[in-house]
């Protein structure tokens, strides 16, 4: 009651201020006209009052005080007070006139030459106080439904402060220290863009007013709201604005035409300069060697580069002329029907063809990426474009992953396999998601084999049931590894290759054709590559190929598409130049051929996708975000490749992909994988033969030795060069070792034998092997899934090497921990392990060795949780620079800073139990949400309708919001910051979780009050001595019954289950009591 009286007093004071004739402390001195009716309605409601507001504004802000006073010619109504740190020199709360903005810059900024002048658009913002948490929640729901997605509640003591806001703001520097940074035309463009945002802003305000009237006031419907005259006038102004915006494209065309004429004039003058000075203009900068060396240093997407080369009279060429010849190919735009075409405005997405061998491929699937209509964001929708009819449909899927970009999607039979990608800058993925193209259901397979590091902006290519993945970015680190995913067994393999290996890179392209992988371009730091590598999958050797013809310029973020049986097409990429050719590689002759393409002017082929459907190349998306030019998306395009039908008969009917290889070809691949050279010896000499093969390094360690059924022979897998040598020197089980090496013996084995013959021990091994005899033949010896070496053995070996290098005793190996915890790529050693001064003296050397031996990028040591109210983690990072990790459990992603937030893998059983609960439609209150330990299983797996998550640790709050977003459930959770005894809702919950250890008893009353009046389920966590479990449960039930009675609730209280989660300490167990509260009927 006291809190409500204080609320009323504060509200009355604010309303008296609004009714007063005196100006308030805001810049305008009062409420903005476009939102006056909204403010009046909110303040008329007994549960709310507004504290500050702005309807949205277009402004010019100077970040330093004016050096000279504003002139007297400025109207009094427009004069501003000089404020510390900066001031506005122009403000409009309606659509701004372009001339007014230009005049303000030219006249008022020129009067005082100092400071940074910024053009701003700031959307509607409203701050208000609510009388209760329930009222706050009702209003924030109303605001978010109206488009104000950044709205939120802050609890300050007993007060509930609500902010209504959105993110369509804009801020662009236009002048600095007296120098204009932009042209007048660009300033006018910014004004038009801001006015467009003002229209969207007003639409959201109108929706908010209608929703508030219908859902909060409850008296009037949205149709009965009377729009005040001030807003009708504003709407009229916006209608005129839309007419002016339609004229913009015509004006832009005229400006571009004028620019082209000026460029023609410049070219003619350059030609005159060439004739006098003996210089010539290199017409295509990508052919210049200096450009290839420095292309990576260009960070802007938009650049014009002229390279002048000194030439002698003997090799002087005429000035470059602009050709009037029309390009050989012409790209056409789609006429999209069905879904809005803006849904295709995206980049960093993936596409694949959809169809079968009977009907052919006539559609393209589009998944993920960044962009979309209205507010640009990462997407997780699935679209289907019919390339013949131009119809666009949004497909409904089951179990769609969270929004993602910079991934790859590969068509394998009747599935689409998505690998890696990025959910946000701090969340790079290594997972595999599979979409069934018949049922359109997503699943996450259990993938075994080697660990696949997280990455995005990588590339992939399909051959049969295998997907090859090369490179990409792991954080800021480019990768140079080649992995293979076998989709028949869902197994990752790291492919070790010989030859000239490509360097680490990202944003490159990879294609599979004719049993080979073709890799082109990419970027590493400031280097942009234009090299072509070919990997023969039979020999597993990379070759750097100097293909003939006219190769593509160095580039990244381009595409490479297999065209028929002979060609691979390269299109687009960055840096952007006037070179917009489609460059085709003939894979049989390794010759490049350029084909001029007339792309539409609005095409921006960067981070786009290309898919071949029948004989047409379909280009989806692409674009760029630039500080100076804003965000631009490329429209969907189609390019007919019929001119190539005569040179490649396979083109024009069906899309031939590596996924549709004949079954006998895949059978041959499997046979090659199973067959191996072996040395078959008598079991009585098997030990001596194996030791000799080990000393000579002739064992094929990828395969396992085999004992015959009669156990009289042992087959050892050996490498091919050893088989060639032994088959010559051992005949049918009899030794015939000669002193000379035959001339037909491969050079590599000659070299190997020469080395071993210079070593007495290995000479002995050769004689032993000869004495053992045996038979060399080919037999079925499957590849091992992975090396038979335990993680502890790997760590022991790595640390042993460090100790030996530093002349320390091997007895220290006894101190190595036998267990540890893995959180993403961070390994956490137990508290107290390796803390002696010896290990500290080794420092980074030993920490790095342990991390690498366990296939981790970082290493840390566990510590006790801080004895504070927020229970911060005190984990010590030993190797690595950041504690932020991505950890996956049960298909749920948990991201957090392990050095600041507590995380216990021992609670996995409880999280699995929560995930298995039937909570569909239930409302849950989690009083100790943390990073979302139980919030996420409730929402993602158990099907809860809504969760109220209470938390007061700022680090955990940041991680919680991040995790809700990356798992795609942020709209189903309300995050309540602060002490849950103040912030927790009352009377709303079906389930309340109390996950605080060692005890949550101080919060039992808050939990009881949060349940619905008719009752619900309490999940009470506690550390209990094993001999006192029954005593504690009796105390718990009695306390809950008493607390419920104290707030007027008559319940029957019973224990329905006691979950024993883990041992917390000797004889102390972490338990969870499921307490059912039901309204008493008697």
pLDDT at 231 over 60: no
**What is the average pLDDT across 445-470?**
94
Q: Average pLDDT, stretch 17-35?
A: 67
Write the CA distances from 476 to 299, 422, 425, 472, integer angstroms: 16, 12, 10, 10
Domain boundaries, the chain: 2-246, 249-315, 338-661, 670-780, 791-879, 891-1079
Q: Is the pLDDT of residue 444 over 80?
A: yes
pLDDT of the residue at 671? 46
Pick the CATH number of 791-879 from 3.30.300.110, 3.40.630.10, 3.40.50.2300, 1.10.3720.10: 3.30.300.110
Higher-confidence residue of 528 and 888: namely 528
| Over residues 563-569, mean pLDDT | 87
The span from the first CA to the last CA of the chain, in angstroms, equals 32
The answer, yes or no, to whether residue 83 has pLDDT greater than 50, is no
Task: Tell me what pLDDT residue 957 has.
Answer: 92
Superfamily of domain 338-661: Kelch-type beta propeller (2.120.10.80)
Residue 224, burial from CB neighbour count under 10 angstroms (0-12, 13-18, 19+): exposed
SS3 call for 310: strand
501 or 907, greater pLDDT = 501
What pLDDT is recorded for position 33?
A: 83
Residue 462 has pLDDT above 70, yes or no: yes
Q: How confident is the model over 135-185, as pLDDT tens digits?
A: 887 888 888 878 887 888 776 566 888 889 888 889 888 888 777 888 888
Residue 242 is predicted with a pLDDT of 41
CB-CB contact of 53 with 189 (8 Å): no
Closest CA to 919 of 1068, 1074, 726, 781: 1074
Mean per-residue pLDDT, 400-412: 94
Across the range 656-683, mean pLDDT stands at 57
Q: What is the pLDDT of residue 867?
A: 66
Axis-axis angle for helices 184-211, 36-44 (nearest 10)? 30
Question: What does the pLDDT average to over 33-38?
Answer: 86
Instruction: Give the range among 550-554, 789-793, 1012-1016 with minimum mean pLDDT.
Output: 789-793
> Lowest mean pLDDT: which of 118-127, 617-626, 661-670?
661-670
**CATH of range 2-246; options 3.40.50.970, 3.40.50.300, 3.30.1960.10, 3.40.630.30:** 3.30.1960.10
**What integer is the mean pLDDT of 1009-1030?**
93
Query: Over 90: is that where the pLDDT of 887 sits?
Result: no
Nearest partner of 972 among 1012, 1023, 937, judged by Cα: 937
Mean pLDDT of the 853-865 span: 85
pLDDT over 60 at 225, yes or no? no
How far lies 629's CA from each of 99, 172, 342, 633, 896, in Å?
A: 21, 10, 19, 12, 35
Edge-first strand listing for the sheet containing 408-412:
408-412, 415-419, 432-436, 442-443
Whole-number mean pLDDT of the chain?
78
pLDDT at residue 22 greater than cutoff 80: no
Structure-block tokens of residue 610: 């290309």
For residues 366 and 618, the answer to whether their CB atoms sit within 8 Å is no
Class of domain 891-1079: alpha beta
Of 526-535, 579-588, 1048-1057, 1069-1078, the least confident? 579-588
Predicted confidence at residue 276, as pLDDT, reads 39
**Higher pLDDT among residues 732 and 690, named by residue:** 690
| The CATH classification of domain 670-780, taken from the options 3.40.1350, 3.30.70, 3.30.450, 3.40.630 | 3.30.70
Beta-bridge mates of residue 419: 408, 432
Averaged over 449-466, what is the pLDDT? 94
Number of Cβ within 10 Å of residue 803's Cβ equals 18
Q: Which helix (H) or strand (E) holds 914?
A: helix 908-916
Q: Which residue has the tokens 């929640």?
A: 137
732 pLDDT more than 50? no
Q: Does residue 219 register a pLDDT over 70?
A: no
- pLDDT exceeds 80 at position 1078: yes
For a pLDDT cut of 70, what percent of the chain falls above it? 76
H-helix or E-strand spanning residue 731: strand 730-731
The 10s digit of each residue's pLDDT in 340-378 is 888 999 999 999 998 654 455 689 999 999 998 766 788
- In angstroms, rounded to a whole number, what is the distance separating the alpha carbons of residues 1012 and 153? 22
CA distance 636 to 613: 14
pLDDT value at residue 28: 56
Pick from 766, 741, 903, 708: nearest CA to 824: 903
CA count, 13 A, side-chain hemisphere, 29? 9
Q: Is the pLDDT of residue 382 over 90?
A: yes
Least confident stretch, 232-246, 430-444, 826-840, 992-1006: 232-246
Give yes or no for a contact between 617 and 330, defined as CB atoms under 8 angstroms apart. Answer: no
E strands along 68-144, which residues? Answer: 87-92, 116-122, 125-130
HEC secondary structure over 676-720: EEEEEEEHHHHHHHHHHHHHCCCECCCECCEECCCCCEEEEEECH
- Nearest Cα to Cα of residue 537 among 558, 519, 559, 562: 519
Phi, psi values for residue 238, rounded to 5°: -70, -35
Using a pLDDT cut of 90, give the percent of the chain over it.
32
pLDDT for res 663: 43
Do 768 and 686 touch, CB atoms closer than 8 A? no
Q: Residue 864's pLDDT is what? A: 76
Whether the per-residue pLDDT at 896 is higher than 80: the answer is yes
């Amino acid at each position: 009651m006291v809190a409500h009286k204080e609320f009323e007093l504060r509200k009355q004071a604010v309303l008296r201020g609004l009714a007063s004739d005196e100006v308030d402390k805001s810049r305008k001195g009062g409420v903005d006209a476009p939102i006056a009716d909204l403010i009046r309605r909110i303040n008329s409601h007994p549960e709310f009052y507004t504290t500050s507001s702005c309807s949205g504004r277009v402004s010019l802000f100077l970040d330093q005080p004016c050096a000279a006073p504003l002139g007297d010619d400025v109207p009094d109504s427009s004069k501003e007070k000089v404020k510390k740190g900066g001031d506005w020199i122009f403000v409009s709360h309606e659509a701004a006139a372009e001339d007014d903005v230009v005049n303000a810059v030219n006249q008022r900024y020129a009067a005082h030459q100092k400071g940074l002048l910024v053009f701003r658009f700031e959307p509607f913002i409203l701050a208000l106080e609510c009388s209760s948490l329930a009222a706050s929640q009702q209003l924030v729901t109303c605001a978010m439904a109206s488009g104000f997605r950044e709205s939120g509640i802050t609890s300050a003591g007993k007060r509930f402060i609500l902010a209504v806001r959105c993110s369509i703001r804009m801020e662009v520097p236009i002048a600095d220290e007296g120098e204009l940074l932009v042209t007048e035309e660009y300033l006018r463009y910014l004004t038009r863009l801001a006015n467009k945002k003002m229209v969207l802003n007003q639409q959201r305000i109108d929706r908010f007013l209608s929703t508030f009237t219908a859902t909060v006031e409850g008296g009037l419907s949205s149709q009965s709201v009377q729009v005040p005259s001030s807003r009708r006038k504003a709407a009229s102004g916006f209608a005129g604005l839309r007419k002016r915006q339609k004229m913009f494209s015509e004006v832009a065309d005229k400006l571009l035409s004028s620019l082209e004429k000026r460029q023609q004039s410049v070219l003619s003058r350059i030609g005159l300069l060439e004739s006098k000075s003996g210089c010539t203009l290199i017409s295509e900068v990508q052919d210049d060697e200096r450009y290839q060396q420095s292309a990576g240093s260009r960070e802007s997407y938009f650049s014009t580069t002229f390279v002048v080369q000194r030439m002698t009279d003997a090799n002087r060429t005429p000035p470059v002329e602009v050709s009037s010849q029309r390009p050989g190919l012409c790209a056409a735009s789609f006429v999209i029907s069905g879904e809005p075409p803006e849904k295709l405005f995206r980049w960093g997405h993936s596409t694949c063809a959809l169809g079968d061998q009977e009907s052919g491929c006539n559609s393209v699937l589009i998944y993920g990426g960044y962009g979309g209509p209205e507010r640009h964001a990462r997407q997780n929708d699935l679209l289907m474009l019919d390339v013949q009819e131009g119809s666009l449909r949004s497909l409904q899927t089951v179990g769609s992953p969270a929004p993602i970009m910079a991934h790859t999607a590969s068509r394998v039979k009747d599935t689409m396999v998505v690998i890696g990608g990025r959910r946000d800058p701090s969340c790079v993925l290594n997972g595999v998601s599979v979409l069934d193209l018949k049922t359109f259901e997503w699943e996450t397979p259990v993938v075994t084999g080697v660990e696949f590091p997280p990455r995005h902006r990588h590339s992939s290519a399909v051959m049969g049931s295998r997907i090859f993945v090369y490179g990409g970015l792991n954080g800021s680190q480019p990768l140079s590894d080649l992995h293979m995913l076998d989709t028949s067994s869902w197994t990752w393999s790291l492919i070790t290759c010989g030859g000239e290996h490509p360097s680490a890179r990202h944003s490159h392209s990879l294609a599979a054709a004719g049993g080979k992988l073709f890799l082109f371009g990419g970027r590493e730091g400031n280097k942009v590559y234009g090299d072509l590598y070919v990997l023969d999958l039979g020999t597993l050797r990379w070759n750097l190929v100097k293909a003939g013809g006219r190769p593509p310029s160095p580039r990244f973020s381009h595409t490479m598409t297999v065209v028929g049986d002979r060609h691979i097409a390269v299109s687009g990429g960055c840096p952007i130049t006037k070179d917009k050719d489609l460059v085709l590689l003939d894979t049989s002759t390794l010759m490049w051929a350029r084909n001029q393409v007339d792309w539409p002017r609005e095409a921006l082929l960067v981070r786009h996708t290309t898919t071949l459907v029948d004989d047409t190349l379909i280009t989806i998306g692409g674009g760029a975000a630039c500080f100076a030019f804003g965000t631009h998306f490329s429209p969907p395009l189609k390019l007919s490749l019929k001119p190539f039908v005569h040179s490649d008969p396979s083109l024009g009917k069906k899309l031939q992909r590596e996924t549709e290889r004949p079954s006998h070809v895949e059978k041959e691949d499997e046979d090659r994988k199973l067959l191996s050279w072996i040395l078959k010896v008598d079991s009585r000499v098997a030990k001596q033969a194996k030791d000799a093969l080990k000393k000579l390094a002739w064992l094929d360690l990828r395969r396992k030795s085999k004992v015959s059924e009669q156990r009289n022979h042992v087959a050892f897998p050996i490498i091919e060069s050893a088989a060639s040598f032994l088959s010559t020197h051992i005949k049918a089980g009899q030794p015939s070792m000669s002193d000379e090496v035959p001339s037909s013996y491969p050079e590599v084995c000659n070299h190997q034998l020469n080395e071993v013959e210079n070593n007495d021990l290995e000479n002995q091994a050769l004689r032993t092997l000869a004495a053992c005899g045996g038979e060399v033949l080919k037999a079925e010896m499957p590849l091992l899934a992975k090396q038979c070496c335990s993680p502890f053995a790997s760590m022991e070996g790595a640390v042993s090497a460090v100790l030996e290098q530093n002349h320390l005793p091997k007895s220290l190996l006894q101190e190595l921990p036998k267990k540890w915890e893995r959180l993403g790529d961070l390994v956490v050693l137990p508290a107290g392990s390796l803390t002696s001064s010896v290990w500290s003296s080794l420092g980074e050397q030993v920490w790095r060795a342990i991390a690498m031996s366990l296939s981790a990028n970082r290493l840390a040591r566990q510590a006790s949780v801080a004895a504070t109210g927020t229970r911060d983690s005190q984990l010590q990072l030993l190797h690595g620079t950041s504690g932020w990790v991505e950890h996956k459990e049960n298909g749920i992603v948990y991201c957090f800073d392990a050095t600041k937030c507590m995380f216990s893998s021992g609670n996995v059983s409880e999280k699995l139990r929560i995930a298995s609960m039937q909570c569909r439609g239930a409302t849950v209150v989690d009083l100790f949400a943390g990073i979302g330990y139980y919030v996420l299983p409730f929402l993602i797996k158990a099907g809860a309708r809504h969760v109220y998550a209470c938390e007061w640790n700022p680090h955990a709050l940041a991680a919680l919001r991040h995790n809700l977003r990356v798992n795609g459930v942020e709209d189903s959770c309300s995050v309540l910051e602060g002490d849950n005894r103040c912030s927790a809702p009352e009377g709303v919950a079906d389930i309340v979780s109390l996950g605080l250890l060692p005890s949550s008893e101080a919060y039992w009353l808050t939990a009881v009050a949060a349940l619905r009046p008719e009752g619900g389920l309490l999940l009470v966590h506690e550390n209990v001595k094993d001999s006192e479990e029954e005593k504690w449960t009796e105390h718990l039930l009695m306390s809950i019954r008493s607390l419920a009675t104290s707030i007027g609730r008559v319940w029957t209280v019973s224990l329905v289950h006691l979950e024993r989660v883990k041992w917390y300490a000797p004889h102390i167990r972490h338990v969870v009591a499921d307490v059912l509260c039901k309204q008493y009927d008697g």
